[in-house]
Structure 1
Amino acid sequence: MNFRRLLAATAASVIATTGLVACSSDSADTKDTAAAAAGETITVGTTDASKKAWAAFEEEAKKAGFDIKVTNFGDYNTPNQALEAGELDTNNFQHLKFLAEYNNGNGTDLVPIVATEIVPLALFWKDHDSIDGIEGEEIAVPNDSVNLGRAINVLSQAGLLTLKEQGLITPTQLDIDEAKSKVKITPIDAAQTPAAYGEGKPAIINNSFLDRAGIDPTTSVFQDDPASEEAEPYINAFVVRAEDADNEQLHKLAQVWHTDAVQKAVAEDSKGTSVSVERTPEELQAILERLEGQLKK
């Protein structure tokens, strides 16, 4: 039985208020008991099920008494579509900025419940171990809207670019004060940034392309600070429908991601670059709402 239908069948009353589920105490108890019943499957969506972290997550979830099914998707929009349609109970593949853009663009109200990690975005410069002497260089950056804005903010944090206005989530080239900046940027396809690096040009490179190009992620000369406010949009999280935001079983399952075995596997997958993040659901929702509001402007 699909987990969503199970909840619908056992909840005695559901009142939609402020995007969350409100139930009588009796129905909540019934929901939690039924959700934990043997044989019920919780479906989880992702885009990288082949990673070691997911194998560890499945094993640890089983130890914790959960029966889960991990479904892999080949693109980044389908996991949210499947969640909204009730084909999934939760997913874990996206950061809060992506979620905010998805909600705004599709009129949905998906919500984060448990943070997982931040994968820093880094600057690489072949045969260099710092940004000393980088002034005057042209830096290759990913040209897609999400990564371009983040790359610009990374270079701003490094003191290499000066923006006309601070605090922009997705700055563009038009937001750069070139006269006050120390470098220029060249936006190119993200998949081509390792090639630019190989030719000796400084480049902002996504983690997913580092491994393919054989670039050691620990050799970056600068990366964004995962503890900074600028990095908050890039916190990854387990996401559910608004009606399941308070579901205790889904919260407990998502917390399995923070067990030692899963975190060890995450570190192996990212070669030690991922940074574990723990934020309350309220903090995650506040960040999401802030992002959605700023993106609407």
Structure 2
Amino acid sequence: MSDSNSPLIEAPKKRGRAIALAVAVLVVVAALIAFAVSRGGDDAAEGLTKVKLGTVGASDPYWKTLQEEAEKEGIDLEVVDFADYPQPNPALTEGEIDINQFQHIVYLAEYNVANKQDLVPVGSTAIYPLGLYSQKVDSVDEIKQGDTVVVPDDDSNQARGLLILQSAGLIKLKDGGSIFSTIADVDTDASKVKVKAIKADLTPTSLPDVAAAIVNNDFVTKAGLKFEDAIAQDDATDPKALPYVNVFAVRAEDKDNATYAKLIEIFQDSKAVQDGVQEVAGGTAELLKTPAADLQASLAEVEADTRDRG
């Protein structure tokens, strides 16, 4: 065959190489797109920083408000709901969430000491008064000798509830009472009522069967109760109440995380969020902006006292 026919033979090979090159380019582009999606998903496309926060009571409307306010500041906030108090701290420790907000300093200290952990409070929300409620009587004076009163079974809220019962004249604590008091410290012979401890989320449902129950602020409205119907409560404005301030907590290595600090600032400074907190609390919350250093100092003190008693 003459040389003039050679190009006719070679042309299909050149076209084949061109097609192969084009396919290779498309494969690379597709891989890059897939990698970008796997790394960031929608958040990466939107330029938002993802934060996963755990709480008990995520259905409270102010969490949705916080999500909306956080998004304006570049934070994609996911709020994870936990059924009861023992769950959010282990989830934070294990890295399942980035930050939590459901507990006061006493509760956090007890968790850290018992589990040899170092979760750190990095921002305050509020102090909520703890109340005694009843469906059978309208005042503490109507509670009869030998009646049963229920308190939460977690150590910190149990102690706080017992102090309320003592202040109301219903029990006497052998050591005079402290943030570490338990049912074992109740002087039964000198007390008017019997005290029983059950899970905090069950205290409201116990009301038909007992004279009265200490009900954590989180569960008051959910149980169809009204804050103003409490027949006794503690004073959230007392300076000695600092260990009972509710806090945002993180792992120790994240205590200086700028994104988490921004989220806390939004929570504390947004009027819409703060109004939502007060609405859920029935106007009883003592809203606070306690410096993180003060929260951490209080935690260290309570942890030291807890170890000494252990």
TM-score for both structures, normalised by structure 1: 0.75
The percentage of aligned residue pairs carrying the same residue is 38
AA in 1 matched with 2:173: L
Which residue in the other structure is 2:264 paired with? 254
User: Which of 274, 288, 303 is the matching residue for 1:292?
Assistant: 303
1:178 and 1:189, CA in 2 relative to 1: closer, same or farther beyond 3 A? closer
1:137 and 1:276, CA in 2 relative to 1: closer, same or farther beyond 3 A? farther
d(CA) in 1 for partners of 2:183, 2:81:
35
Matched, 1:175 2:185: yes
Matched, 1:80 2:65: no
Q: Contact 1:194–1:213 (CA<8 Å) still a contact in 2?
A: yes
1:239 and 1:126, CA in 2 relative to 1: closer, same or farther beyond 3 A? same
Runs (4+) off by over 6 Å: none
Equivalent positions of 1:93-242 (< 5 A) are: 93-126=102-135, 129-134=138-143, 136=145, 138-142=147-151, 144-146=153-155, 147-166=157-176, 168-178=178-188, 180-181=190-191, 183-190=192-199, 193-194=203-204, 197-198=207-208, 201-228=211-238, 231-242=241-252
AA in 1 matched with 2:107: F
Q: Secondary structure at the match of 1:41?
A: strand
AA in 2 matched with 1:241: R
AA in 1 matched with 2:91: A
1:194 and 1:39, CA in 2 relative to 1: closer, same or farther beyond 3 A? closer
Which residue in the other structure is 1:27 paired with? none
Q: Contact 1:120–1:226 (CA<8 Å) still a contact in 2?
A: yes
Which has the larger share of helix?
2
User: Which of 244, 247, 250 is the matching residue for 2:254?
Assistant: 244
TM-score for both structures, normalised by structure 2: 0.72
Q: Secondary structure at the match of 2:97?
A: coil
Q: Contact 1:103–1:109 (CA<8 Å) still a contact in 2?
A: yes
Q: Contact 2:123–2:247 (CA<8 Å) still a contact in 1?
A: yes
Q: Secondary structure at the match of 1:92?
A: strand
d(CA) in 2 for partners of 1:263, 1:290:
29
CA displacement at 1:119 relative to structure 2? 2.6
AA in 1 matched with 2:151: P
Unmatched tracts of structure 1, length 5 or more: 1-36
d(CA) in 2 for partners of 1:253, 1:196:
37
1:124 and 1:42, CA in 2 relative to 1: closer, same or farther beyond 3 A? closer
CA displacement at 1:77 relative to structure 2? 4.1
Q: CA RMSD in A?
A: 2.8
Q: Secondary structure at the match of 1:278?
A: coil
CA displacement at 1:128 relative to structure 2? 5.2
Q: Contact 1:154–1:223 (CA<8 Å) still a contact in 2?
A: yes
CA displacement at 1:287 relative to structure 2? 1.6
Superposed CA offset, 1:24-61 (max 9, x none)? xxxxxxxxxxxxx9333233222322210110111111
Q: Secondary structure at the match of 2:78?
A: strand
Q: Contact 1:42–1:67 (CA<8 Å) still a contact in 2?
A: yes
Mark the structure with the bigger radius of gyration: 2
Q: Name the count of aligned residue pairs.
A: 260
d(CA) in 2 for partners of 1:278, 1:167:
28
Unmatched tracts of structure 2, length 5 or more: 1-45
